[in-house]
Structure 1
Amino acid sequence: MTCAIEFDHLTKLYNNARGIDDLNLTVQQGEIFGFLGPNGAGKTTVMKMMTGLIKPDRGDVRLFGSSVQNQYIDAIQHVGSLIETAESFPYLTAFENLKLHGRYYEQVDNKRIHECLEITGLSKFAHEKTRKFSLGMKQRLGIATAILSEPKLLILDEPLNGLDVEGMLDIRALIKKMSSEQGTTFFISSHLIHDVEVTCTRIGILLNSRLTSVDSTETILQNFSSLEHYFINEVERNARI
């Protein structure tokens, strides 16, 4: 099995004591890895280091064997991401926004753009300017942008943010389909514990800037009635340490 992500002593600490401290973890290709933790635990910091948006104090991230620090182009060429907020150019239509992003990829043509709009349920809004979009529609467009180049790895920070129930079901189904049919790897941060439970194949808990536990969803649910109970147990266990 190919290793898609490898964290090697990854560390980034801020003056307020937040950040990430000595993260070591591997994620295999095709996995849907869920990254759980309270606000300020360091989840978004990790994702920003994975995409080269910020530099670690020490350690490194390797994506498909290439170092983000030293081989950035090789590391990032098969990666799509949606981190923090789904931004778009408000004076452009959904199609035009994707067309703009598609310029960076030789394989992205108009057919692929329409494909992504269809996949994310935005086809009927393709020629509407995004300033008129709701939060959920902007989120769908952000996901369409992330999958545009058919990446082997998708890094998604709160991908279900702002979506209605139908949207959540659609994106959950899309993630599972891409993983099973295309072997796409997902690294997902979310506060929606139930959605992580029914989507992710393996889960890591981040508390106080450190990765405290990693286990398969199957094993967790054999020992706990829900992922929520497992998460609460981990919080209480670490509070006692």
Structure 2
Amino acid sequence: MTEVDTVTPKQVAPDEASLHESIAGALASQGDWRRAYEHLRVALDLARAEPSIPEQLRREVDRLRRERAEAREESLRDALTTVYNRRYLDRRLDDLLSDARKPLAVALADIDLFKNVNDTFGHIVGDQVLRRVAALLREGLPSHAFCARYGGEEFMLVLPAVQPDAAVRVAELARARIAEHPWSALCDGLSVTISVGLAYESGDVTASRRQVLEADDLLYAAKHAGRNRVAYRDRAGTRVIEYCP
């Protein structure tokens, strides 16, 4: 048997590890975090065959793992408000609505007369309002609930495993928090309110698939009732929580 024939995998591994590490570096520089991470994992697995793993390689794998996780999280967040974006919302709703065993409430919130805010105070102030409203909507959410930007000046609160009365309280507290916020501190003469449509389903897959449309219908009911309202349905029909200044 020749000398070449007796080369062991352990002897080959360092060169292969270096090759995968180089490929990972090239992919990372192009922003392809997923494939870069995969190559670094292969390099690390190969290096583990050696008596000691190069510390530099270990650090590179840890760094790329963090950057990959950060990049994935950023891809699911709205750039302006930092709440979850529509991509994440649609994905999570599909998962949640497919499980008919768990109740689910969704509250669609729309900033009242937001065009007037932009026209009167400018788009920079409008962007500040969007960020502040998003932050206020996130306050006090139950465990496993989340806020997402539905589009434009609309946001959605997704409330899994929350009973109807509790969901109404969450929506009303969010509405009150925004109405009572000192908006004039941001810009003199500024006031901001939201209208909310709250839809609740439990144990009925067919009805659950109509839930977002129902929330949208109830949002318009809140608008037509005078804005700065929460609208929902119970066994007696459509209810609108009246705002009492």
Give the TM-score normalised by structure 1: 0.25
Larger Rg: 1 or 2? Answer: 2
Larger relative helix fraction: 2
Give the TM-score normalised by structure 2: 0.25
Which protein has greater RCO, CA pairs closer than 8 Å, 6+ apart? Answer: 1
